[in-house]
Amino acid sequence: MADALFPGANELEGRAIRQISALAMDAPAAAKSGHSGTAMALAPLGVMLFSRILRHDPTDALWSDRDRFILSCGHASMLQYGLANAFGYDVQLADLRAFRQPHSRTPGHPENGVTQTVEVTTGPLGQGIANGVGMAIAERILRSDYGAELVDHRVWVVAGDGCLEEGISHEAASLAGSLGLDRLTVFYDDNHVTIDGPTELAMHDDPAQRFAAYGWHVINLGEQANDVDALERAAREAIAETQRPTLVIVRTHIGFPSPEMMDRREAHGSPFSASAISEAKALLGVPDEPFCVDPEMPHEMVEALSVRRDQRIAWEARVTAAGAKGARLLTQLDTNGAAIVDSGPEHYEPDAKVATRKAMQRAMDWLAPQTSGLTAGSADLTDNTGVVLSHSQAQGVANPGGRQIYYGVREFAMGAILVGQALHGGFRPAGSTFFVFSDYMRPAIRLAALSHAGALFVFTHDSVGVGEDGPTHQPVEHLMALRAMPRLHVVRPSDANETLDLVAEFLSAKQPPTTALVLSRQDMRVFNARDAAASAEGARRGGYVVREHDAARFTLVGTGSEVAHCLEACDQLAAEGVVTRVVAMPCWACFDGQPHEYRTAVLRRSVPSVALEAGATLGWTKYVDEAIGIDSFGMSAPGDYVFDYFNINSSTLVTHVHDVLGAST
C-alpha cells in the first residue's frame, strides 16, 4: 500500500521516518530547548540515504571505506541521532532521552567522537560543507594511491539555508568545483525559513545558478522532499556524475507535517507545544506519548542492510588479498599517515641567520617523502610560507593523487578543509598563510581543536617584523588569541633547527594535537652547539632552560625570534657581572602539560623574571613577573626599525634587569 505522507517509502522506511519525526519533537520538548522543524522535514531524506544509498555497516561503525555523512546544519542533530538509533548504531533510547543533557551522547550539536555516525563536529553553519570537501580530497588521494578496489566511497552532506549564506560555503564550493570532486554531493535543504523569518529578508541569490557557476552539477528537485523514490533518483544521478560535485536542491517545509508549526520561523529553534506535538503525531500515525521507540526497528534495519555488510566483508577480503599494499593502507589509516623518520635532516650551521619559515621548507623537503599522510598547501602564499611539496603534483582532476593543494585566497575554507582531511583518516594535512590571517581561519581552528583534528596550521610573518606592509599585516594580539583556545598547541620555535624538530614531532606522532606553527619572516640566529643541545632536549616539552646558572639573579624568557634577544642580553649582562638564565617557551600548552616539578625547575619563580615577545603581553604573568611586548598596533616601516621602536631588543632587557635589580638593592 502506498504511503500517503511519504511516497515511495517501504513499510520499514515509513516507520523510521515517522519515528524520527516524532523524536525530533519529543527530545527538544523534554530538554526545553532544541530544533525540531528541520529534523522533521529532513527525515525522509535521511532515511532514504541510510536505507538505500550510503555505503555503511552499523555492525562496524568505523569501517574505513564507509561513505561519510555530514550534517552541516548541525542544529538538526536529532535527525542524526534518530537515524543512528533506527539503523542499529549505538544510540539507545536512554541517549535520546538525554538529549542536550550533561555528559550525554546526544549533545545539542553533533560532536565527533561522541556519537556514532558523527564524522565531524558541526554547528557553526557552513563548515560541514568545507569539511566534506576535505573528506572528498582525502578519499580521492587514497583511491589514487591504492586503487578503487581498496578505496571506493563517497561524501554526502546535508546543508541548509544558513550554510549557504555563510561565506565559507562560497569559498569551499568554489574550490570543490575547481577540483572536480565528483565524489561529493550536497543536499540543500531549501526551506525558506531562518530564525529571523523568511530567507527573503536577506537572501535573493539563486543557489542553482551560483553552484553551476562554480562548476557543480545541479539537480533541482523542487517540491519532492517527502518523495523517497525521487530523493533516491537524485542521489543516483549524483553518483553517475563523474566530472563534478553535485548539489541537490530540495524544497522542504520546516516542521512538516505539523499544521500549527509548518513553515513558521518558530519551528526552527523553539520546542513545539504539547498540543502541536499531539496534532502532528496524529497525522504521522504514531502513539501520542514521548519517546515511543520501536525496539525491533534497529534489528530489522541491520538485517535489511545485509548487502552493505557483505560489501564490507568483501572489502576486508580484498585488503587481505592485496598483501603489502593492503597492509600499507591499513597502517596509513591507523596512524593517520605518520612519518617514519629513518634519516635526519641537514641542520643549519650554528650562528647562521635563517628565518624559521625557510626552515619549514627544509622540513617539507626532508619529511614529505617519509610521511604517507602529508598533504600541504597555502591560501595563495605557497612560496612565502615554505610548504612546497617538491615530490608531489598539484591536486586536481589531472592529478588525483596530488598532495600539493592550492587553496586560493580562501583561508576560512582551507582551515575547515584541513579538518575534513584529518578526520577522514589517513592524513595529517598542513595548510599555511600569514599569521595575521589566522583571524579569517579562527572558527575552523576552533572546531579543529574541539574535535581533536590532527591538522597543522602553518602561520608565517609572525610579528611586526613584517615591516613595511604595516599594521594591517602585523599580528600583535594573535598569539594570545590562539593561546586562549583549549586543546590548541600554539608553537613558536626558537630557531631554524628547532623548527625542523618540532615539525618532525607533529608528523611522526600517532595522534598529533591540533597545532598552530608560528614562524618568522625575518632571519633569526641559529643556536650555537650548547644552546642547540638544550633545544634538542627540551623543546618538545614546550618550555626549557636554554642557559642555566645556579647563581643567576634574573630569568629572561622568550619565544621565537625573541629568544635570540634573551641570549644576547644574557651575554651582555654577564660581561657586566650580572648572571642571568634564559628560558625558551615555544609552546605554552605543551609546557602546561609537563609535571609540576619540571615546570617549577624551568621557571624558578624565586628568581625575578621578565618575558620578551613581539606581541600582546596579556597572559604572561602566569609564568613571569613582568612582560615586555607590544600592546598596540604596529606601524609601516622596515622591520628592524619597528622592532626597535617597540623596544623588542636585547638592550631593553638589559635596561629592565638593571632597573629591577637596582630598585631591589
List, by residue number, the catalytic residues: 411
Q: How is residue 118 written as a grid cell? A: 558523527
Closest by Cα among 567, 614, 560, 569 to 588: 560
Residues whose CB falls within 8 Å of the CB of residue 435, separated by 6 or more in sequence, listed in order: 459, 460, 461, 462, 463, 475, 478, 518
- The 3 state secondary structure assigned to 11-74 is HHHHHHHHHHHHHHHHHHHHHCCCCCHHHHHHHHHHHHHHHHHCCCCCCCCCCCCCCEEEECCH
Q: Which residues of 358-391 are buried (b: 16+ CB within 10 A; e: fewer)?
A: bbbbbbbbbbbebbbbbbbbbbebbeebbbbbee
Instruction: Give me 285's grid cell.
Output: 500515525
Beta bridge partners of 180: none
Integer Cα distance of 625 and 516 in angstroms:
26
- Nine-digit cell at 292? 515511543
Query: Angle at Cα 611 formed by Cα 609 and Cα 617, nearest 5°?
Result: 125
Stated as kind and residue range, the H or E segment containing 279 is helix 274-284
d(CA 568, CA 574): 10
The CA distance from 57 to 311, in Å, is 9
Enumerate residues 6+ apart whose C-beta is below 8 A from 464.
Answer: 474, 476, 614, 630, 634, 635, 639, 642, 643, 646, 648
Cα 556 to Cα 71: distance, rounded to the nearest angstrom: 49
Give 67's Cβ-side CA count (13 Å radius): 22
Of 649, 607, 605, whose CA–CA distance to 628 is shortest? 649
Task: Verify cis geometry, omega within 30 degrees of 0, for the bond prior to 486.
Answer: no
Nearest Cα residue to 626 out of 636, 637, 613, 635: 613
